[in-house]
């Protein structure tokens, strides 16, 4: 009996050796059996390539944002080999073997993401009325709500989910007085004014640098989507780090820009009057145009609180600078890290700041200059650099995003995180947050070029929108969401600017 058991074990071991890397379990844990040498293992794997594919590919119905991580978890990485999810097998990499078509980890991941993006775009084109699941429609939801089968929170979230998933993409036609300019420059940043009647644009120029423009959204209410773009001769060869609208002479009369310095040219904060971009009255005075020399400015914010009238702030390297435009008076607050995001409160004279160190703090702008840390209030901490902050209307809560892809809602009264919105993707970019409390939505564009929409109430991810253009670091979409695009009689929806195109997603 003992001899029979020994013989069975030997046969079992030989069977495992013969199967080699055909067994997925064996490929993950080759050390459990006889450990082959590196050369023998590579030769064995090369033979298996030509015979039987390794069935370790990721599922085709995975979320596009998690495809690369799922691929790594299902198909283990092997030194000297790469896994092709389309062919569902490994291929060997040799020096000089792919000189005409070099294979890198980044190129392989980019190819996988592009396939996912194209698949999602095809699904959206096939489904004009896309819903998250069968039976999700307004009449059924209303009936369930009236019967008491849905709570108010669940009902609101499901209505938002239905409306968001029925948003359809339509391309907007952009008209310009200079036909040679329209559609030739890539959109970099778009920012809407308070009334959502205009959007300020920063466009990359082919020969380097940036130029500015303003798009009038009044044409969005018509059957044919078209807008008017007004630009001017203003051009900069410096990088635009931050943009916001400023109310100097009247609401949204100017645009505040932070420009980085290059070589011997210092950085600056510029105030451009919006009238520079209007062609209605060419002979009118353009208004106040001023520029303040400032070292590397990462962020900016305009103050609407009467206690700090005509003031703006810039987040610099290890300090915050608050400037009065009319008097030129400046206040400096030293910090321990670069300030990447800023926003003024409207009910109190407080300035909220998000830092590269992950710290979020507020400043009472009525204080005098201080070099210590005693003036900091409402201190919160993220585990990574804070890229965007948004103060909610009641000013009891603050939304913040960081470079680890975390989006958190903080209660400023208790200094605790009360909600976390999962799915955002970021590693190093300064990406903004867009919050619409009236519709109960949070929108953010990730570094993977996907636009994600969450429910504010329960942090549920409602929809992931792929970019109409291939994903790349210089083609990250810039978006604006409003319930009245084009003014008080405008249409609700999402504006997406990517490359040279502008798209509208109707929200009805």
Each residue of 454-474: pLDDT tens digit? 999 889 999 999 999 998 888
Q: What is the pTM of this model?
A: 0.77
**Quick one: which of 358, 359, 357, 377 has its CA closest to 367?**
377
Give the Cβ contact number of residue 257 at 10 Å: 26
Q: State the Rg of the chain over Cα.
A: 28
Integer CA distances (angstroms), 272 to 181, 216, 313, 330, in order: 21, 17, 16, 20
Question: For position 183, what pLDDT does the model report?
Answer: 52
CB atoms within 10 A of CB 344: 23
pLDDT of residue 280: 46
Which helix or strand (DSSP H or E) is residue 154 part of? helix 152-165
**Tokens 């890229």, residue located:** 387
Q: What is the pLDDT of residue 372?
A: 54
So what's the pLDDT on residue 369? 56
For the chain, which ranges sit under pLDDT 50?
A: 1-39, 41-62, 64, 66-73, 97-99, 129-132, 180, 280-285
pLDDT of residue 233: 66
Q: What angle do CA 55, 58, 61 make, to 5 degrees?
A: 130
Say what the pLDDT of residue 465 is: 93
pLDDT at 374 (0 to 100): 62
pLDDT given for residue 15 in this prediction: 46
Amino acid 245: pLDDT: 96
pLDDT given for residue 2 in this prediction = 43
3-state helix, strand, coil in the chain (%, to 5): 20, 35, 40
The pLDDT assigned to 105 comes to 62
Q: Would you tell me the crossing angle of helices 67-74 and 105-126 to the nearest 10 degrees?
A: 120
Bridge partners of residue 396, in order along the sequence: none
Q: 115-132: buried (b, 16+ CB within 10 Å) or exposed (e) per residue?
A: ebbeebeeebeeeeeeee
Whether 315 contacts 299, CB under 8 Å: yes
| DSSP letter string, 218-268 | GGGGSSS-EEEEEEEEEEESS-EEEEEEE-SSSTT-EEEEEE--BTTBPPE
What pLDDT shows up at residue 449?
93
């Amino acid at each position: 009996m003992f001899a029979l058991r020994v013989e069975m074990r030997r046969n079992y071991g030989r069977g495992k050796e013969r199967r080699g890397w055909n067994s997925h379990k064996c490929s993950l844990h080759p050390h459990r059996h006889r450990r082959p040498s590196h050369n023998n293992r590579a030769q064995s794997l090369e033979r298996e390539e030509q015979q039987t594919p390794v069935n370790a590919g990721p599922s085709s119905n995975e979320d596009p944002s998690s495809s690369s991580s799922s691929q790594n978890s299902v198909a283990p990485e092997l030194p000297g080999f790469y896994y092709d999810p389309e062919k569902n097998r490994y291929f060997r990499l040799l020096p000089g073997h792919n000189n005409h078509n070099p294979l890198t980890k980044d190129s392989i991941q980019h190819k996988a993401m592009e396939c996912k993006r194209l698949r999602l775009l095809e699904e959206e084109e096939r489904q004009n009325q896309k819903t998250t699941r069968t039976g999700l429609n307004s009449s059924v939801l209303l009936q369930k709500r009236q019967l008491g089968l849905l709570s108010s929170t669940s009902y609101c979230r499901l209505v938002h989910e239905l409306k968001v998933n029925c948003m359809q993409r339509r391309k907007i036609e952009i008209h310009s007085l200079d036909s040679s300019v329209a559609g030739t420059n890539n959109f970099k940043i778009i920012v809407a004014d308070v009334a959502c009647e205009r959007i300020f644009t920063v466009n990359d120029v082919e020969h380097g640098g940036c130029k500015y423009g303003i798009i009038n959204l009044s044409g969005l209410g018509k059957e044919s989507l078209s807008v008017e773009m007004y630009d001017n001769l203003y051009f900069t060869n410096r990088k635009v780090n931050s943009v916001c609208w400023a109310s100097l002479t009247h609401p949204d009369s100017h645009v505040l820009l932070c420009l980085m310095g290059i070589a011997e040219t210092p950085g600056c904060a510029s105030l451009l009057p919006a009238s520079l971009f209007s062609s209605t009255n060419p002979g009118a005075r353009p208004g106040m145009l001023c520029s303040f020399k400032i070292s590397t400015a990462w962020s900016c914010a305009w103050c609407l609180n009467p206690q700090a009238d005509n003031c703006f702030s810039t987040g610099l390297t290890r300090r915050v600078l608050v400037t009065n435009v009319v008097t030129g008076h400046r206040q400096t607050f030293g910090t321990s890290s670069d300030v990447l995001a800023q926003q003024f409160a409207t009910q109190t004279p407080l300035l909220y700041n998000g830092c590269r160190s992950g710290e979020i703090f507020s400043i009472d702008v009525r204080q005098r200059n201080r070099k210590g840390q005693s003036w900091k209030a409402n201190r919160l901490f993220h585990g990574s650099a804070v890229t965007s902050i948004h103060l909610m209307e009641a000013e009891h809560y603050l939304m913040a995003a960081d470079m680890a892809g975390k989006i958190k809602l903080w209660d400023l009264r208790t200094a605790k995180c009360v909600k976390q919105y999962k799915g955002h993707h970021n590693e190093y970019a300064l990406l903004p947050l867009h919050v619409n409390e009236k519709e109960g939505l949070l929108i953010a564009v990730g570094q993977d070029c996907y636009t994600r929409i969450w429910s504010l109430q329960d942090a549920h991810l409602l929809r992931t929108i792929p970019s109409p253009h291939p994903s790349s670091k210089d083609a990250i979409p810039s978006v604006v969401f409003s319930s009245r695009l084009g003014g008080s009689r405008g249409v609700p929806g999402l504006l997406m600017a990517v490359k040279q195109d502008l798209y509208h997603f109707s929200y009805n």
